[in-house]
A = this chain, B = another copy of it.
């Protein structure tokens, strides 16, 4: 047993879909969240800058004595996971591999779609991972840049959102994929609208897949916390009010005090 908290890092609020999954799958665990809101978005930054920022942020989480860290930022996962792992003794979990593995476990026709921000799609992180694990897979990628602002506005069940989801996803449907990876931590908020357009297609929620992996690791290493009321702490590098406001949309409840560091 280990009562130390789980660290979650993201550039903004998106990683809160990961926190929501931790609350669902690992309700007894404490969480320390850090959102590097002063430097978002990470997508357009150089890999050198991203590495420096992630390293700084990991240091902050380590000071909070976390027992494991989820890099909930797709850009950070794509560019820094290996190095951060080498430099730190605790488990570090990215969001890309768990989603890619679950997609390959579920697909029957090996035709897999990936949606994400321009940055994530341009990095080709998911498609490289899928091809590495299954060279015979057919992979099609599509950036959906309006999904993040729609999620952040909380415009979930609106007609405009449905139209936008249809416009982005129709071309993927025509490719007869049977599995679609939601390659951005914001996208689970639009899951229902995406499911309506895609029909009989497996939707891979990378937040859920990542926390499933975390749970397995904590079990294997005997690091699960004891039963009790969990504490969730939220830190950001800028604009805590905005984070708190958006956090309510992402977590589905008030997130309480957000500290600026």
Tell which of B38, B149, B150, B167 touches A158, judged by Cβ atoms closer than 8 Å: B167
CB neighbors of B among A103-156 (8 A): 118, 145-146, 148-150, 152-153, 155
Return A118 CB to nearest CB of chain B, in Å: 7
Q: A45-B38, A152-B145, A153-B146 are known contacts. Are A118 and B160 too (CB-CB below 8 A)?
A: no
A185 contacts B by Cβ under 8 Å: no
For A83, list chain B residues within 8 Å (CB). none
Oligomeric state, in copies: 2
CB neighbors of B among A231-251 (8 A): 238-239, 242
A164 contacts B by Cβ under 8 Å: yes
For A46, list chain B residues within 8 Å (CB). 238
A163 contacts B by Cβ under 8 Å: yes
A159 contacts B by Cβ under 8 Å: yes
Q: A160-B167, A167-B160 are known contacts. Are A239 and B44 too (CB-CB below 8 A)?
A: yes
Return A120 CB to nearest CB of chain B, in Å: 14
For A164, list chain B residues within 8 Å (CB). 160
For A44, list chain B residues within 8 Å (CB). 37-38, 238-239, 242
- Contact between A238 and B163, CB atoms less than 8 A apart: no
